[in-house]
Amino acid sequence: MEKEKKKEKNCGCWTVLRLSNVIGGSSDSKHSVNSIPRTSLVYDAATETRYLNASNREMCVPDEARVSSDTPTDPQTQLPPAAENKVQRQLLQFTFHELKSATGNFRPDSILGEGGFGYVFKGWIEENGTAPAKPGSGVTVAVKSLKPDGLQGHREWVAEVDFLGQLHHPNLVKLIGYCIEDDQRLLVYEFMTRGSLENHLFRRTIPLPWSNRLKIALGAAKGLAFLHGGSEPVIYRDFKTSNILLDSEYNAKLSDFGLAKAGPQGDKTHVSTRVVGTYGYAAPEYVMTGHLTAKSDVFSFGVVLLEILTGRRSMDKKRPSGEQNLVAWAKPYLADKRKFYQLVDPRLELNYSLKGVQKISQLAYICLSRDSKSRPSMDEIVKALTPLQDLNDLAILSNHSRLTQSGRRKKKLDGMQQLSFNHSRSIRGSPLHSGRPHCK
């Protein structure tokens, strides 16, 4: 018993698996678990500055601050009765042997990624069933396994099954089924062909086209709007580029619901909970008070909009000291109509919409407002993003037009100067100009 208690104490804050690894390989950054000083719950500029200057690492509060509405789950039990009743009609229940066969005995070359949760493997199953299929046939899936000693991970596993077992939307990744057998905990997802938005923005030499960025932003916004707008609202709590997966058509789907939380209902304004997530994305007021609202997700969405706009990570220690935190660096540019074009990802060159960049900058600015009540709802964000999809006012066309007009003006000016020169010669060569009498 004492051993179990000791394990729970040392477990700390579970490092969230980036489901970008499901498709695009393991993360290249290592995150340490560190505590957030909670000397004061007063939200002020000084505290915000300390938050903005924090490093990019998974968040966890000290033990004494963990009193929250989060209900622990006994890791030795099966799914909670409520969750089991909700999902048993929705999800397939796999045996461990079936998933072992589907992934080729969990072969190393089938590993798609690794995170705090465990490994993610690529596998194949038969259509409309749980039986394993030969590689390249049937349905391609991503199988996520929980480390056997992950107490905190079990809680996240249960949350994932509970939420995705009930929530269905085109912009949420589909959870196909699960396996819970002895100490084995696995989840089976649809396989997302193009991996995560993080991979496309930061790990590829070819820049993600502007039109695709706008499409992804709109899809992700629709996913969050769906979560917030239900009769039982859900706060995602871990919105970031690595958790936005893409299918073959660049349709965005939110993944990894291990940190999702039921939102406030009735006359409640917030949910008090332990502070988890990733620095650089989490809303400052949530980090400092533990008060969680839908507007916490809106702040995170604003950070992702900035990443889409700039091609920069939310936190990047490789950049100069004044540019390491994206929000802190970009805000002065967002507030100045003459400067926000300087934020655009230079790899795009001039292949972006002028009006689109303007609107995205404005939207990011209000999403990142210090006052959470001033931030828009996700429904309002969806409405703002929708008309941007069809804009064709590319900066490169505008620049070409300016160069063409400039060339025409120069050509016209050169022509006028030549005409003036010829006219002057004609006048100088005239007998009237020479002062001599003109004789017939």
Which residue ranges make up the annotated binding site for ATP?
A: 144
Count how many residues are written for the chain: 440
316 catalytic? Reply is no
Backbone angles phi, psi at 265, to 5 degrees: -130, 165
Binding-site residue ranges? 144
Query: If 0-12 CB within 10 Å is exposed, 13-18 middle and 19+ buried, where does residue 316 land?
Result: middle
DSSP symbol at 195? -
Largest Cα–Cα separation, the chain: 129
Q: What does the alpha-carbon distance between residue 119 and residue 143 come to, in Å, rounded to a whole number?
A: 8
Angle CA(263)–CA(267)–CA(270) in degrees, nearest 5? 40
Question: What would the two tokens of residue 146 be?
Answer: 């929980």
The residue type of 8 is: E
Q: What does the alpha-carbon distance between residue 257 and residue 157 come to, in Å, rounded to a whole number?
A: 9
Q: What does the alpha-carbon distance between residue 14 and residue 157 come to, in Å, rounded to a whole number?
A: 11
Q: What does the alpha-carbon distance between residue 397 and residue 191 come to, in Å, rounded to a whole number?
A: 38
Residue 139 neighbours by CB under 8 Å, 6+ apart: 124, 125, 126, 127, 133, 176
Spell out the alpha helix ranges (H) of 266-394: 284-289, 294-310, 326-334, 354-367, 378-385
Q: Are 159 and 258 in contact (CB under 8 A)?
A: yes
The active-site residue, picked from 70, 183, 238, 414, is: 238
Residue 247 neighbours by CB under 8 Å, 6+ apart: 192, 193, 194, 253
In this structure, the strands spanning 271-272 and 92-93 are unpaired
Residue 105 neighbours by CB under 8 Å, 6+ apart: none
Positions marked active-site? 238
